[in-house]
């Protein structure tokens, strides 16, 4: 039995959209909003904080920034090359540096900043050592845990649950000898909840991932296929995958809700193919161009673009879904899955954290140099 109910959500000061909520016989609530193109917020033209650049030195010199988060009144930056966690105040002044490259206690080889742990603490993961370190608000290491998955593959942590357990993605491992040259390999995204104290893994979500072409020596990504993207909000995983502008909500391993916008799926156009070609030629070595571009004409290349390329959970409970590149628009959804409007991000800026009317992330200049930036949001 299916119920269709038209409702108006949100206050008049925010939005005047009329989403349609559907509850099917399986008990999954589906909220689809009209695509009216309303603006949720405007990013201020000039950043309130801008760190880094070709002439930067010391703690403001970045390379391979893993993640940036706004933690209360501070800006935390994980720098991949140095293995350092650098903390700045709200105005961008350097406060302290934690960690450093190495495999000893408090050091990192492949640093990943997970975010708030419990209270004001922050969790940092080292993929190489399988070690999770928790720092308090003052930067003191208060806990170190080495994860062990036993006979299973060790998940790659992405987010932290409110209770301190970790949301991780289980890697897929295939033997090269078991794959035939020219074979298309479908990947999947499988997410688990990892209990740090018990060392147990519980499946929480899954989706189809990117397609790969095995050349006999290398794996080449099939253009316009992408991994599922996801965010954690109050213990629920919000996941987007495929060409439809939809997000599925997973709780305790099952889909409980789905929401999105009633928008046509986008076709892979000649312009999209040309953009892909330009990307490969600009960022990949010359000797790899032929192999990567040959897949553009492969039968496995889809005719539709992925809908979303990133999902962020903001501190105020909204969920932000970034449209597949080269689009700079982000759809913003409220706590009930209703579309609140869109936000257009600055070009070449990749947002990573949204809190208290600010958005923080990485902007790359024409030379490809990374800058850590914070922009204000005008509602």
| pLDDT for the residue numbered 6 | 39
| Domains defined for the chain, CATH in brackets | 3-378 (2.120.10.30)
Q: Confirm if 281 and 200 have CB atoms less than 8 A apart.
A: no
Token pair of 319 as six digits: 């969920």
**What pLDDT does 280 receive?**
94
Q: What pLDDT score was predicted for residue 142? A: 80
Position 13 scores a pLDDT of: 42
Q: Quote the CA–CA distance of 11 and 5 in Å, as a whole number.
A: 19
| pLDDT score of 143 | 84
Predicted confidence at residue 176, as pLDDT, reads: 76
Helix (H), strand (E), coil (C) string for the chain? CCEEEECCCCCCCCCCCCCEEEECCCCCEEEEEECCCCECCEECCCCCEEEECCCCCHHHCCCCEEEEEEECCEEEEEECCCCEEEEEECCCCEEEEEECECCCCCCECCEEEEEECCCCCEEEEECCCCEEEEECCCCCEEEEEECCCCCCCCCEEEEECCCCCEEEECCCCCCHHHCCCCCEEEEEEEEEEECCCCCCEEEEEEEEEEEEEECCCCEEECCCCCCCEEEEECCEEEEECCCCCEEEEEECCEEEEEEEEECCCCECCHHHHHHHHHHHHHHCCHHHHHHHHHHHHCCCCCCECCCEEEEEECCCCCEEEEECCCCCEEEEECCCCCEEEEEECCCCEEEEEEECCEEEEEEECCCCCEEEEEEEEEC
pTM of the model: 0.91
pLDDT at 48: 97
Edge-to-edge strands, sheet with 166-169: 156-160, 166-169, 184-194, 201-214, 219-221
Question: Would you give per-residue pLDDT tens digits along the chain (379 residues)?
Answer: 333 333 333 343 445 455 667 767 678 899 999 998 899 999 999 999 999 999 999 999 999 999 999 988 899 999 999 999 999 999 999 999 999 999 888 889 999 988 888 777 899 999 888 889 999 888 888 888 887 766 667 788 999 998 889 999 988 877 777 888 899 999 889 999 988 888 788 999 999 999 999 988 889 999 999 889 999 998 999 999 999 999 999 998 899 999 999 999 999 999 999 999 999 998 899 999 999 999 999 999 999 999 999 999 999 999 999 999 878 999 999 999 999 999 999 999 999 999 999 999 999 998 889 999 999 999 9
- pLDDT value for 216: 87
Q: Across the strands, what pairs with 133? A: 124, 144
């Amino acid at each position: 039995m299916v119920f269709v109910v038209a409702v108006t959500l949100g206050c008049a000061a925010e939005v005047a959209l009329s989403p349609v909520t559907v509850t099917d016989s399986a008990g999954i609530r589906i909220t689809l909003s009209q695509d009216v193109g309303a603006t949720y917020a405007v990013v201020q033209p000039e950043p309130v904080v801008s760190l880094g650049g070709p002439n930067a030195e010391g703690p403001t010199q970045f390379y391979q920034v893993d993640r940036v988060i706004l933690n209360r009144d501070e800006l935390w930056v994980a720098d991949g090359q140095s293995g350092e966690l650098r903390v700045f105040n709200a105005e961008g002044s350097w406060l302290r540096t934690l960690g450093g490259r190495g495999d000893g206690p408090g050091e990192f080889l492949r640093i990943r900043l997970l975010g708030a742990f419990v209270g004001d603490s922050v969790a940092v993961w080292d993929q190489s050592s399988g070690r999770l370190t928790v720092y308090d608000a003052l930067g003191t290491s208060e806990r170190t845990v080495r994860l062990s998955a036993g006979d299973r593959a060790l998940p790659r942590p992405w987010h932290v649950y409110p209770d301190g357990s970790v949301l991780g993605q289980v890697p897929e491992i295939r033997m090269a000898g078991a794959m035939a040259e020219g074979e298309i390999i479908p990947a999947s995204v499988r997410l688990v909840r990892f209990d740090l104290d018990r060392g147990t893994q519980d499946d929480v979500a899954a989706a189809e991932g990117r397609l790969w072409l095995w050349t006999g020596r290398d794996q080449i990504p099939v253009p316009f296929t992408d991994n599922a993207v996801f965010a954690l909000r109050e213990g629920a995983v919000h996941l987007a995958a495929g060409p439809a502008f939809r997000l599925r909500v997973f709780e305790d391993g099952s889909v409980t809700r789905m929401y999105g916008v009633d928008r046509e799926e986008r076709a892979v156009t000649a312009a999209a193919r040309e953009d892909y070609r330009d990307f490969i030629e600009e960022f990949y070595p010359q000797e790899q161009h032929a192999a990567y571009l040959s897949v553009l004409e492969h039968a496995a290349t889809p005719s539709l673009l992925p809908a979303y390329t990133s999902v962020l959970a903001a501190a105020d409970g909204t969920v932000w879904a970034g449209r597949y590149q080269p689009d700079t628009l982000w759809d913003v959804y409220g706590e009930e899955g209703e579309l609140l409007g869109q936000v257009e991000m600055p070009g070449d800026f990749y947002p990573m954290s949204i809190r208290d009317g600010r958005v923080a992330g990485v902007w790359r200049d024409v030379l490809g140099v990374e800058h850590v930036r914070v922009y204000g949001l005008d509602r």
